[in-house]
Amino acid sequence: MISVEEARARILSGLAPTGTEIVPLSAALGRVTAEPILSRLTHPPQDVSAMDGYAVRAGDPQPRLVIGAAPAGHPFAGRVGAGEAVRLFTGSVVPEGADAIVLQEDTDRDGDSISIREAIRPGQHIRRAGQDFAEGQMMVQANARLNPRHVGLIAAANHAWVPVRRRPIVAILATGDEIVLPGDPIGPGGIVSSNSHALSAFVRACGGEPLLLPIAGDSISAIADAASSVRHADLLVTTGGASVGDHDLVAPALEGVGLKLDFWKIAMRPGKPLMHGSLGSVRLLGLPGNPVSSYLCALLFLKPAIERLLGLPGAAPRPIRAVLMTGLKENDHRADHLRCRLTEAEDGMLQAEPFGRQDSGMLSALAHSDAVILRAPHAAAVEAGSVVEVLRFDSLGA
């Protein structure tokens, strides 16, 4: 059995970013840039007014003659001479000759002339050309996941299209004679597939493209055929059948179609049987069949793998600190992940209350938990009130 950290390193090893795809700006949210995005223009393009008011020369005597108006988008064609002013609005280009903007509310207008009630500082209320950014300037780095502010910045930099990483294709194969799709007829001893649907949603949340395969029964040929149908995928994720029982057929089935097995057991609970290998250019991640094990393995291994394929670091999910509300016994040799509830204390500190029952078959408990408490191999007993590390599901998109 290998450690969680070694398993992750081996899964990430050699995973290269996917190719580049061009998407319209309106589809760029959440995608990862494949190249740096440079500005195609300077912004503001010229000196512009930051306020509604008048463009003037700071040093001139009162009053000033208003010689025109220039709404945003309609620059004043002439020049502001001595004792002159031009009416401007937020975003209007500052006309030649002017060196300051006075606010409309600081002036008194009398016919065609204005008197200014406040002292004028040269340059006041002018946004200088290029103050926000210049042509050629880096707007967004490569390998950045785009948020709505990035999208606005890319628009302002005059890009209608964005080069992003193709979403990694993650084929998902549920195996087992007892498994049926939701709503389909259920035979004796049958249960409804849940892992593959949770995984599919999780892949989507990570930025991958899930490809949900038909359920494969407990048959070597069904599993082999399914795997052979997804040679174009980046990852093949199986659930169930990854252990060593007589009916754990994933490894033998895939070996028949060329699987190079890397490892199939990790020192972790829940989730011991985790299989890793490759089928030609497709990486295989064989997850356990228990819903909690399957989901935690996805969080710890599949998410970093998808991120690495997107050109992101693919780091381990980042833990945060919480105060333990109930003491825990010492741990054995397997890294443990205890489902818990989080609450927030008055001082803002998180408090973690582990569930009494940690059965890895309890999907409802997983769905109703907020986090898992991380327990290192051979960790000593910890008392209530100690600070522990937790993986918080909502902040990890899980």
Binding to a second copy (CB under 8 A): which residues in 167-196?
Answer: 176-179, 181-183, 186-195
Q: Is residue 113 a contact residue for a second copy (CB under 8 A)?
A: no
Least distance to a second copy from the beta carbon of 324, Å? 16
How far is 221 from 252, CA to CA, in rounded Å? 10
- The answer for residues whose C-beta is within 8 angstroms of residue 303's C-beta and 6 or more apart is 202, 206, 317, 396, 398
For a second copy (CB under 8 A), the number of binding residues is 100
Q: Return phi, psi of residue 10, to 5°.
A: -70, -35
Least distance to a second copy from the beta carbon of 295, Å? 7
Q: Is residue 220 a contact residue for a second copy (CB under 8 A)?
A: no
Shorter beta-carbon distance to a second copy: residue 281 or 364? 364
Inter-residue contact 154 to 37 (CB < 8 Å): yes
Choices 23-31, 257-265, 277-285, 327-335 (CB under 8 A): range interacting with a second copy: 23-31
119-158 residues in contact with a second copy (CB under 8 A) are 127, 131-133, 139-140, 146-158
Q: Is residue 44 a contact residue for a second copy (CB under 8 A)?
A: yes
Cis geometry, peptide bond prior to residue 288 (ω within 30 degrees of 0): no
How far is 187 from 85, CA to CA, in rounded Å? 85
Q: Compose the 311-350 pattern: x for residues touching a second copy by CB under 8 A, - for all others.
A: ---------xx--------------------------x--
Q: Return phi, psi of residue 196, to 5°.
A: -65, -30
Least distance to a second copy from the beta carbon of 287, Å? 13
Shorter beta-carbon distance to a second copy: residue 386 or 395? 395
How far is 397 from 120, CA to CA, in rounded Å? 52
Inter-residue contact 355 to 334 (CB < 8 Å): no
77-96 residues in contact with a second copy (CB under 8 A) are 87, 89-93
Positive or negative, the CA dihedral 298, 300, 305, 310 is positive
How far is 393 from 371, CA to CA, in rounded Å? 5
Least distance to a second copy from the beta carbon of 101, Å? 13
Shorter beta-carbon distance to a second copy: residue 203 or 279? 203
**List 5, 36, 45, 214, residue binding a second copy (CB under 8 A):** 45
Shorter beta-carbon distance to a second copy: residue 318 or 329? 318
Q: Return phi, psi of residue 333, to 5°.
A: -80, 0
Positive or negative, the CA dihedral 175, 167, 201, 268 is positive
Q: Is residue 74 a contact residue for a second copy (CB under 8 A)?
A: yes
Q: Quote the tokens at residue 56.
A: 């003037």
Q: Is residue 201 a contact residue for a second copy (CB under 8 A)?
A: yes
Choices 1-9, 69-77, 107-115, 325-333 (CB under 8 A): range interacting with a second copy: 69-77
Closest C-alpha to 271, from 302, 246, 249: 302
Range list of H helices, the chain: 4-12, 148-156, 195-206, 220-228, 250-255, 291-297, 303-309, 363-367
Q: Is residue 200 a contact residue for a second copy (CB under 8 A)?
A: yes
Least distance to a second copy from the beta carbon of 260, Å? 26
Q: Is residue 202 a contact residue for a second copy (CB under 8 A)?
A: yes
Q: Is residue 247 a contact residue for a second copy (CB under 8 A)?
A: yes
Least distance to a second copy from the beta carbon of 71, Å? 5
249-308 residues in contact with a second copy (CB under 8 A) are 289-291, 295
Instruction: Rounding to the nearest 10 degrees, give the CA dihedral for residues 360, 365, 368, 371.
Output: -40
- Strand, coil or helix: 379: coil
Shorter beta-carbon distance to a second copy: residue 238 or 290? 290
Longest CA–CA separation in the chain, Å: 98
- The answer for residues whose C-beta is within 8 angstroms of residue 152's C-beta and 6 or more apart is none
Q: Is residue 363 a contact residue for a second copy (CB under 8 A)?
A: yes
Least distance to a second copy from the beta carbon of 110, Å? 17
Choices 43-51, 56-64, 107-115, 255-263 (CB under 8 A): range interacting with a second copy: 43-51
Least distance to a second copy from the beta carbon of 75, Å? 4
Shorter beta-carbon distance to a second copy: residue 315 or 381? 315
